[in-house]
A = this chain, B = another copy of it.
Amino acid sequence: MMKENLWNNIKQLKKESPLVHSITNYVVMNNTANALLAAGASPIMAHAHSEMEDMMTICQALVVNIGTLDEYWVTAMKKAVHQAQQLEKPWILDPVGAGATPYRDEVLAELLQLNPTIIRGNASEIMALAKHNSTPTKGVDSSAKSNEAVLAAKFLVEKYHCTVCISGATDIILDQDKEIHLFNGHELMSKITGMGCTATALVAAFSAVIKDKVEAVTSAMAYLGVVGELAAKESKGPGSLQMNILDQLYAISEKAFNSTLNLEIKRG
Interface residues of A (CB under 8 A from B): 19, 25-31, 33-34, 37-38, 42-51, 54-55, 58-59, 67-72, 97, 100-104, 136, 138-141, 190-194, 235-240, 242-251
Q: List 21 A-B contacts (CB under 8 A).
A: A26-B45, A34-B238, A43-B193, A44-B100, A44-B139, A46-B97, A46-B101, A49-B70, A49-B71, A51-B103, A55-B100, A58-B101, A58-B138, A59-B139, A236-B251, A237-B247, A237-B251, A239-B243, A239-B245, A239-B246, A240-B243
Q: Are B38 and A97 in contact (CB under 8 A)?
A: no
**Minimum CB–CB distance for A145 against chain B, Å:** 17
- Please pick, from B46, B68, B69, B244, the residue contacting A239 in the complex, using a CB distance under 8 A: B244
Complex Cα distance, B235 from A51, in Å, reads: 37
Identical chains bound together, number: 3
Chain B residue nearest to A19 (CB atoms) is B139
Measured CA separation A237–B68 after assembly (Å): 30
List the B residue with the shortest CB-CB distance to A40.
B191
> Would you call A30 and B194 a contact (CB within 8 A)?
yes
Q: Which of B25, B37, B68, B193 contacts A34 (CB 8 A)?
A: B193
Q: Give the residue name and chain of the B residue nearest to A74 (CB).
A: B48
Closest to A234 in B: B236
Q: Told that A48-B69, A54-B102 touch, could you supply 16 new A-B pairs with CB distance under 8 A? A: A27-B45, A33-B193, A33-B194, A37-B190, A37-B191, A37-B193, A38-B239, A42-B141, A46-B97, A50-B71, A50-B103, A51-B102, A58-B139, A235-B247, A237-B250, A239-B242
User: Nearest Cβ in chain B — how far from A105, in angstroms?
Assistant: 10
Judging by beta carbons under 8 Å apart, are A44 and B97 in contact? yes
* Closest beta carbon of chain B to A192's beta carbon, Å: 6
* Smallest beta-carbon distance A155→chain B, Å: 25
